[in-house]
Structure 1
Amino acid sequence: MQAGSADLATLGQRIRHFRGERGLTLDQLGEAVGLAGSQLSLIENGKREPKLSVLGATASALGVELADLLSAEPPNRRAALEIELQRAQAGPLYGALGLPTVKPTRGMSDEALEAVVGLHRELQRRASEAIATPEEARRANTELRERMRRENNYLPDIEALAEERVRASGHRSGALTHREVSVMAEQLGFQLIYVNDLPDSTRSITDLANGRIYLPPASIPGGHGLRSMALQAMAHRLLGHERPSSYAEFLWQRLEINYYAACCLMPREASVAFLSEAKREKRLAIEDFRDAFGVTHEAAALRFTNLGTSHLDMTLHFLRVAGDGALQKGYENDGIPLPVDVTGSIEGQWVCKHWSARTAFDETNRTTENYQYTDTPAGTYWCATQTGRTDAAEFSITVGVPFNQAKWFRGRETSLRAESRCPDESCCRRAPSELASRWAGQAWPSARLHSHVLSPLPSGTFPGVDDAEVYTFLESHA
């Protein structure tokens, strides 16, 4: 029978502790229990698991109970530190550094040992902050959403910076051109270069040493995606970003660069003028805003949330919902009851089946926005929803407002109206009683697992980015 229930490192430390108290050498104790001193040394160092008979003989030789040897508590503070150091150096985090292990000796002071263990703790803490586990990502995302809700999704300093840089490019009206974006890069000392071999884990790479911003190629060079990616890369420099020290800081930096790009593509002054006129004429429409500035529907919808409260005096909400009904992005300051989990996170939660964000998938005409009024426990809301599709799946983009603000929008005359009682499960989540009684206990579906829910982002310098691929890419283009 093996002493498998005892932690080997702690067990070894306790044997060494009691042996030291008794003034016995390794050879003396080994002789008493029928082991060579070298074998006993392996046990004390946690590298060999002794048989229970050997443990019994060792306890008798030391004059202690077997339970004293098998206790999970280190015998003293020094032993606890040595055990912690041993475990830290055996872990993958220290192993990845390629450094030799440090073995504490009798001559190493407790203070020196404390310092070494403290360094390992700090190394582990920083690694834990840098990696984006699902729990960490959801918590950070929830905190960021609450922060932007308090700010009405409006960042005036970035608005002013973007307005200044757009004017400096020579832009005056209409959609920001690809040439004007290139001028903005040149004014910062960068050249835009389009390549076919960007690492899969990146959208763009900025070569600070040689003043280059690498972007993927596109069939339409002036397209919204490339302009936006270039502007985001520039934003890191303009906003003085340093390497993120935590996933929360990484998310904030990403929000800032996205915000800056949107401000450049849809400048505040021109956008507010366009939207204010549309509001006066009671013909606000996200699709018109989108087409006026040559951006995607999602970009226009998100930009509308930046300006809607601060410049148009209205509260509103935004949703991006996957074809299966899962909420991918969401913002609200109008009180609409977004689906949340117990932590307050909305990402991945199912939107009510009666909301237009989901009913729009059933519409045959998907070329224009779909309009709907929805009665909810928090009041009645009017929504405009546009559906779209990526290579992977379909999605919907929704912008909505409380009932009394629908008068400013085109589509307010819709007769389509629905009722939602969510989060009450009887609304759309609970099966009719007749079906439930017939099939409960008779169905066993095989669920589709979304692997990103379980997988943390790799912990490179930037979450999710393979440093080795980035450096190899830069070297090949230098």
Structure 2
Amino acid sequence: MSGLGPFPAAQKSSATKGKGGAVDSLLLGRRIRYYRKERSLTLEALGEKTGLLASQLSLIENGKREPKLSVLQQLADAFDVELSEMLANTPPDDRSRLEIEVERAQSSSVYRELGLPRIPSTKSLSDEVLRALAGMHSEIVRRQTEASATPEEARRANTELRLAMRAHDNYMPDLDKLADELLSRVDHTRGALMHHSVGKMADHLGFQLIYVNDLPRSTRSITDLENGRIYLPPASIPGGHGLRAMALQAMAHRVLGHRRPEDYADFLRQRLEINYFAAACLMPEARSVAFLRDAKERRDMAVEDFRDAFGVTHEAAALRMTNLLTSHLDIKLHFLRVDDKGSISKAYENDGLPLPQDVTGSVEGQFVCRKFSAVSSLARTNRTTETYQYTDTPAGTFWCSTQTGHADAGEFSITIGVPFDEARWFRGRDTKQRASSTCPDGACCRTPSSDLSERWAAKAWPSARVHAHVFSPLPTGDFPGVDQREVFEFLERHDIDADRATADA
């Protein structure tokens, strides 16, 4: 992952950087080869001018060795060019671009799985052959992505990611460090992160935040890498958590050195990372841990207090607690977001709470026990405060705190819970509310009583509501679910408007 500074992606003349901000050795090597051949120098002749071995230069040109800065300066002097020119982030000519594209294609996991031999980009290969190789690889990737973009594949990828995060207690210290470093650039040390500060963070990275009314419906934000603009939707309260989080998530792609997703699993990983980074900016690690540790010492931990202290949503605060409570306070816990039908939208647990799963191990879309507070709280009339409950399960007794909310899609609940022994640290531990769940035993809450079955089993014929997405593949493309044509038309429209405004000025 990259360090911080003015980001290459937001500038038109930046150094050759690869994933995570490292030097792109392949691109750099091709630029060096281009300058050498343009000056009719052999490897041996260039070696004499720089004091380097021809074998060393060959490794550098082929992208197999990353040269030191002093060596790069020697080469720039030998070519009589500025170092910044040699380090430009674009291929020097169309031939080099094709060679780089083919080389990267043959280094991909997709190509390796085919078991085909590597074809070196020698002079004997024409540009037409290189274009054909690059085009065929692109089509293979497209077809593989389309074939795998099914609900089953999405659930599998999401399950693997959830289990991987569970193994690390949902904690990503590298992202916390990057967030702290960016926050230090705007001198944010106390209170909620203001929208003005988010704007300064974007400016430090070389971006301008622009609020528009015509974002494509399939997007939450759009980043114009060429002109350094991040387009966001307008809001009645610009400093609101949602808008700050969206801006931070857009910036996170640059900070974390993300490239276009290779597959749906890569897309999900990137989404998780940008959400984590945004949360780490809004709720910085050191201050959050200090706040939670103080509350633990007072035995008065509460999601609502943590939420209010940092000016975020209840869900964001609860999720951030999953990042920090185990890693810093040795408290195992679970998190649930459940819709008004009792279906799991998001889930995390490292405390052993039994969650319903399908045959792939996925929990999203599964129905939680109706006796869980995550479901029963949705029937309450007074929803202004958290609901507390102990629940006896086959895996032990768990205490939980639940808050309900409303979104365009309907009602939902947010739950944070811990094993019985850990409840002593939380507000609401003295609740008398208690339930017993034997799920996944159907008799717990899903199987109708014998009286009702006898009365209605042969007389009921409901018409099931089947959602179209059950049969549909996931939207494909570089960014799943995004209408690429709408995005490009949007950027072109706003680029023209910006040029006109500049001309008028």
TM-score, length-normalised on structure 1? 0.74
CA distance in 1, matches of 2:419, 2:427: 15
Residue matched to 1:264: 281
Contact 1:192 1:215 in 2 (8 A): yes
Counterpart pick for 2:152 among 111, 120, 135: 135
Structural mapping, 1:384-399, within 5 Å: 384-399=401-416
Structure 2 equivalent of residue 401 of structure 1: 418
8 A contact 1:375–1:418 mirrored in 2: yes
For 1:149, the aligned partner's letter is R
Q: Match of 1:240? A: 257
Q: Which amino acid aligns with 1:427?
A: C
Partners of 2:452 and 2:393 lie apart in 1 by 26
Deviation, 1:459, is: 1.3
- Within a 5 Å distance, the mapping from 1:202-241 to structure 2 comes to 202-241=219-258
1:177 aligns with 2:194: yes
| Cα distance in 2, alignment partners of residues 142 and 451 from structure 1 | 22
Q: Which of 268, 293, 296 lines up with 2:313 in the alignment?
A: 296
Deviation at 1:118, TM superposition (A): 12
Higher Cα Rg, which structure: 1
What residue identity is the alignment partner of 2:347? G
Displacement, 1:460? 1.9
Structure 1, residues 245-303: CA drift from partner, whole Å, max 9, x if none?
10000000000000000000000011001110000000000011001100000000000
CA-CA distance at 1:451 after TM superposition? 2.5
Asked if 1:200 is matched to 2:217, the reply is yes
| TM-score under structure 2 length normalisation | 0.70
TM-aligned CA distance change 1:281 to 1:456, over 3 Å: same
Is contact 2:145-2:263 (8 Å) kept? yes
Q: Among 430, 452, 455, which residue is 1:435 paired with? A: 452
State the Cα distance separating 1:420 from its structure 2 match. Answer: 0.2
Matched, 1:368 2:385: yes
Map Cα deviations across residues 182-209 of structure 1 (whole Å, 9 max, x no partner).
0000000000000000000100000001
Q: Which amino acid in structure 2 is aligned with residue 361 of structure 1?
A: L
SS across alignment from 2:388: strand
What is the aligned-residue RMSD (CA, Å)? 1.7
Distance 1:156 1:298 in 2: 21
- Matched residue, 1:349: 366
Q: For structure 1, which runs of at least 5 residues remain unmatched after alignment? A: 1-115
1:464 and 2:455 aligned? no
Deviations 1:191-230 (A, max 9, x none): 0000000000100000001010000000000000010000
How many residues are treated as equivalent by the alignment?
364
Q: Which moved more, 1:305-314 or 1:117-126?
A: 117-126
User: Partner of 2:157: helix, strand, or coil?
Assistant: helix
- In the TM superposition, 1:71-90 aligns within 5 A as none
Structure 2 residue identity aligned to 1:213: I
How many Å separate the matches in 2 of 1:444 and 1:310? Answer: 51
Whether the 8 Å contact between 1:127 and 1:459 is mirrored in structure 2 is no
1:147 corresponds to 2:164: yes
Q: CA deviation at 1:124?
A: 4.3
- What letter matches 1:132 in structure 2? A
Work out the CA distance in 1 between the residues paired with 2:342 and 2:299.
31
Structure 2 residue 183 is matched with structure 1 residue 166: yes
> How is 1:57-76 mapped onto 2 (pairs within 5 angstroms)?
none
Please say if residues 389 and 433 of structure 2, whose CA atoms lie closer than 8 Å, have aligned partners that are also in contact: yes
Q: Indicate how the Cα distance of structure 1 residues 231 and 117 shifts in structure 2: closer, same or farther if over 3 A, else same.
A: closer
Letter in 1 for 2:368: V
5+ long unaligned stretches in structure 2: 1-131, 496-505
Deviation at 1:398, TM superposition (A): 0.2
| 8 Å contact from structure 2 (residues 216, 490) kept in 1 | yes
The alpha-carbon deviation at position 452 of structure 1 amounts to 2.6
1:315 maps to which residue? Answer: 332
Quote how far apart the aligned CAs of 1:449 are: 1.9
CA contact (8 A) 2:145 2:476 kept: no
